[in-house]
A and B are shown apart, each in its own frame.
Chain A
Amino acid sequence: MLGNDNGVSRRSVLKAAGASAGLFGASGLAAADDESNGDNDYRKSLGLEDGQVQINVGFKSDRGRQKALGAADEVVREFNSIDVVTIRASAQAVSGLQNNPNVRYVEEDGQMQALAQTLPWGIDRVDAEVAHANGDTGAGADIAIIDTGIDSDHPDLQANLGKGRAFVNCNTRGGCRFGAKPADNTCHYNWDDDNDHGTHCAGIADAVNNSEGVVGVSTEATLHAVKVLDKCGSGSWSDVAAGIEYVGDQGWDVGSMSLGGDASQTIKDAVSYAHSQGVTLVGAAGNDGPCTDCVGYPAAYSEVIAVSSTNDSDGLSDFSSTGPEVEIAAPGTDIYSTVANNGGYDTFSGTSMACPHVAGAAGQLRANGYSQSDTRSRLKDTAENIGLASNESGAGLLDAAAALGHDSSDN
């Protein structure tokens, strides 16, 4: 079925098949049914009937074109300059086309996974979608992601990106002392994400509410990339402190710190300064669990809202650090969000993922006029009791809708 003599080499066709998994092979019909039926939202959005597929047919000659048009239930597109038509047809008709010598290829149309927005369980659990439905977007708030950077051209984040500042430069070359692999991303800016972690946190706090990927707790706050951690996910105390100081200098509303380590007086000084400048500082409690009285720094500093992590059963995540400094809990196990790798998505776990849920909610409150201190108390006053001890969850589980004054009883 694949021609070699009409400008499309077999190699490039196979390469395309590998990249998109969209070409029908010899057993393509079964695969087509499985794959396209696997995403019913996508099929519904196209209005496809059962047993019907939308395909691109590359033809070799006008006879091939006529064959494709004849097989079509509906012609979706005829191209002017390339020998391709996009049609809807039955699986049976597809089979006939695949075996036609005048047809170069039959390819399933569409990027199924990119056409529907997923509501990640954590966003749902903290009822951020209730806030969205009531018109709360976080617009006007400035949220700094103090991390490994943010993917500057991620389609689910780009519209919300504000400033970027690098205290360690983006660099996707080479390996890592601590063994991690840099992200497959291009450093368009020195604050671009070469790791994935910062982009993941950014998406949790504030991914765009659109027709693709995920949605954040805030959806229209301005995200600022403050890159203090390198491609391997590590940064010096001085770089971290410089990033926190910078956020204080900017007077931004929220600083999200999904990072941790031992106590550092320099970072403590930076945290105190940023707090004095009005920044709502949020930190990951740490992943040393199960453990008691083990909250890491900077989360353990009194200026920082320390966030522990829960799973989708409202239990404490087994890795979550606990202690008297924990002020609130948020979802952190198996969180789906944006990554820098090819502008994609991935599932990560950690108190790093819990932290930006709270940062996004803090952004919502700051956008609605809550002061630094009122934001902190409001988050805690409206947190939901999920039956965990106070050193495990502080005031309870984040409830973004309740914090904003909405009924969140849907959960």
Chain B
Amino acid sequence: MTLQSSVTATVGADRVEFEYTVENVGNDPEDLQFRSGLKADFAVLDGDVEVWRASYGRMFTQALQTETLPAGDSRTFPGAWEDPDPGTYTVVAELNTTGPDAEARTDFSV
């Protein structure tokens, strides 16, 4: 796998918006085989404590879905944390695939 990932956090008035990007930096197409209706997930950590997770409180279809990411292309997944408490956090983003999780993380302050 030749995936490169990154995540950004944009702090707004009453929400933090995340953008998780997975790029195929290799020379060949990559198949992403998602495990369920949940393709990518975001977790917000306060130190080691998880304070928010995008998928929390939801159920998902349990069928695989495959997408091909052509060489040089990227795929972006959005997320948003509503009404955050002030503090300093880390957001961790990852794919929910049968392959690599392409984890990316970044720090932000509210």
Closest to B78 in A: A177
**A169-224 with Cβ < 8 A to chain B:** 177-180, 195, 197, 200
Q: Are B37 and A232 in contact (CB under 8 A)?
A: yes
Q: Are A234 and B63 in contact (CB under 8 A)?
A: no
CB-CB < 8 A to B36: which residues of A? 233, 260, 286-287, 350
Q: Are A234 and B59 in contact (CB under 8 A)?
A: yes
CB-CB < 8 A to A177: which residues of B? 78-79
A interface residues with partner B (beta carbon < 8 Å): 147-148, 177-180, 195, 197, 200, 228-229, 232-237, 240, 258-262, 264, 267, 284, 286-288, 296, 318-319, 348-353, 355
Give the A-B pair count, Cβ closer than 8 A.
Answer: 98
Q: Are B57 and A233 in contact (CB under 8 A)?
A: no
17 more A-B residue pairs beyond the given contacts A235-B59, A260-B62, with a C-beta to C-beta distance below 8 A: A177-B79, A178-B37, A178-B39, A195-B61, A200-B63, A233-B37, A233-B61, A234-B38, A234-B61, A236-B58, A258-B63, A261-B38, A287-B35, A287-B64, A318-B98, A319-B98, A348-B64
- 26 residue pairs A–B, Cβ–Cβ below 8 Å: A147-B61, A177-B79, A178-B40, A179-B77, A200-B63, A229-B37, A229-B60, A236-B57, A237-B58, A259-B59, A259-B60, A259-B62, A260-B36, A260-B60, A261-B55, A261-B58, A262-B56, A267-B59, A286-B62, A296-B62, A319-B98, A348-B63, A349-B63, A350-B61, A350-B62, A350-B64
What is the size, in residues, of chain B's interface with A at 8 Å between Cβ atoms?
23
CB-CB < 8 A to A236: which residues of B? 57-59
Judge if B65 is at the interface, Cβ distance under 8 Å: yes
Residue in B64, B77, B98 with the greatest tally of chain A CB atoms within 10 Å: B64
Q: Are A319 and B58 in contact (CB under 8 A)?
A: no
CB-CB < 8 A to A178: which residues of B? 37-40, 77
Q: Are A197 and B59 in contact (CB under 8 A)?
A: no
Q: How far is the CB of A146 from chain B (nearest CB, A)?
A: 10
Closest to B98 in A: A319
CB-CB < 8 A to B65: which residues of A? 180
**B49-78 with Cβ < 8 A to chain A:** 55-65, 67, 75, 77-78
